[in-house]
A = this chain, B = another copy of it.
Amino acid sequence: MKKINIGLLGFGTVGQGTYKILTENKELIANRHNIEFNIKKILVSNVNKKRNVDVDASFLTTNADEIINDNDIDIVVELLGGIEPAYTYISNAIKNNKHIVTANKAVIANKSLELSALKNTYNKQIGVEACVAGGIPIINAITTALSGNEFISIKGILNGTTNYILTQMDEAGLDYKTALKQTQELGYAEADPTADVEGIDAANKLSILIELGFNKYVHPDNIDTIGISSITKKDIQKANKNNEKIKLIASVENNNGKLEYNVKPISLPNNHPLAMVKGAFNGIFVTGNAVGELMFQGAGAGSLPTGSAVVGDIIAIAKTI
């Protein structure tokens, strides 16, 4: 049986989900893929913090170098979020001959060119499935099974927080501020919700989809982005009157050779597949010149769903080692 050692950078929601899956499904994964995964070390900010999963303190470290410089570690899983220090850690890990799996859309979207150059130089892989739409295997689909298609468009609800807020405004008749507050209380929105509600998170994910689906890198700052913070109760009522739902849609479209992309709230007919995506779920509508229209729907965030995508990438890379 192949043995693969893993180092985790970060042990928050997704890190703990990844740990749980690799631990609880260990035997199933070993039987299915003939690979045994060992989590050798986990970078945390505080070794003594109480956590939902039970990990012996000897596996924890506050020093990233203990993972990045460990010659026995094959795959470094970066789950810190944000651009720095994630970018430095990923770069150094690649230079130290490690493959990367990450759920960090910000660093991938903002540093794609640099990271692509680096992984090509060192002949390493970077798995990014978990960066877009959590557990929905959209990256895998567009880069493998659908990769004989010329894509016409990819349109998605890529941010669960804003979709939850919009669903609450629609179904409970709340105004934006009340819905946001409720979403924060439930833990679906962060204390500073800017990246979600202003569409920045969705733009990061769209940048990744544009690059992988249309072979063109667009920095997220160059994607026209409008969030949901100015959507009013009145807007929602008007949409309802027209049998429509307002959704924050990240969209890229090949319009006769001209690539058009943006993130903005759109009023969709109630029977559009994306209008039916409710709560914290994500949905992606892909149109290819061969496959036609495909719809994917599922959990776009959360510990185990995003961990599922991380583990899928870990397995895929491990198979090539």
Contacts and interface: CB of A to CB of B under 8 A. Distances in A.
A292 B288 contact: no
A111 interface: no
Contacts of A296: 294-296
Given A33-B147, A215-B32, A135 B291 contact: yes
A276 interface: yes
A308 B140 contact: no
A148 B313 CA distance: 9
Given A17-B290, A276-B276, A140 B144 contact: yes
A291 B149 CA distance: 26
A304 B276 contact: no
A299 B293 contact: yes
A156 interface: no
A88 interface: no
Interface centre among A150, A276, A302 (most CB of B within 10 A): A150
Interface in A274-310: 276, 288-299, 302, 304-305, 307-309
A31 interface: yes
A152 to B, nearest CB: 12
A196 interface: no
A225 B22 CA distance: 36
A148 B314 contact: yes
A307 B295 contact: no
Given A298-B293, A299-B293, A312 B25 contact: no
Interface of A: 17, 20-22, 24-25, 28-29, 31-33, 129, 135-137, 139-141, 144-150, 215, 273, 276, 288-299, 302, 304-305, 307-309, 311-316
Given A32-B215, A137-B145, A137-B146, A304 B316 contact: no
A319 to B, nearest CB: 9
B294 A148 contact: no
Contact of A290 (B140, B291, B307): B307
Nearest to A136: B294
Contacts of A29: 147-148
B290 A148 contact: no
Contacts of A147: 29, 32-33, 312, 315
Contact of A25 (B20, B33, B148): B148
A305 B292 contact: yes
A215 B29 CA distance: 11
Contacts of A312: 144-148
Interface centre among A28, A29, A215 (most CB of B within 10 A): A28
Contact of A311 (B25, B290, B298, B315): B290
Nearest to A299: B292
